Structure 1
Amino acid sequence: MTDIDAARAAKRVLVECFADDPRVSGIGISGDEAHLVIRVNLVNANEVPEDLPERVLGFPVAVDEVGKIGAH
């Protein structure tokens, strides 16, 4: 498994855990091949899910406040 495949698996773990959490706007992967990070986009940075891990499957988890995302 390549690093990007492993990062995709880590992302899927978080999507399964937080897909229905209204505090989470989205989950993605960022960084370069040597430093991949799982990004969790939050509606409000002050409302981080208490069970959000710092790492998942060995990848660091970072949070960004992006607000609510929806169709226009």
Structure 2
Amino acid sequence: MEYRYVLAHYLDKAGMSQAELAAKIGSPRSTVSALLSGRAKEPTLGKAKAIADALGVSLDEMARKTLGE
């Protein structure tokens, strides 16, 4: 599954807006929007970890879902 769909799933599950996630990870909302739209394919490892932490899931869980495991 593409990262953007995994991100959208966990963002919805957390009940968090793009702006809230952006603030928690220290990035502009446009970065989160680009990830969700597919304009940006995947974040760096550090940013992916920050996103997972902000959403309350493990990076491993998000990676497994992205890889289809």
TM range (shorter): 0.3 to 0.5
More helix by share: 2
* TM-score (normalizing by structure 1): 0.33
Report 1 or 2 for greater relative contact order, CA contacts < 8 Å, sequence distance ≥ 6: 2
Q: Which has a greater percent of strand?
A: 1
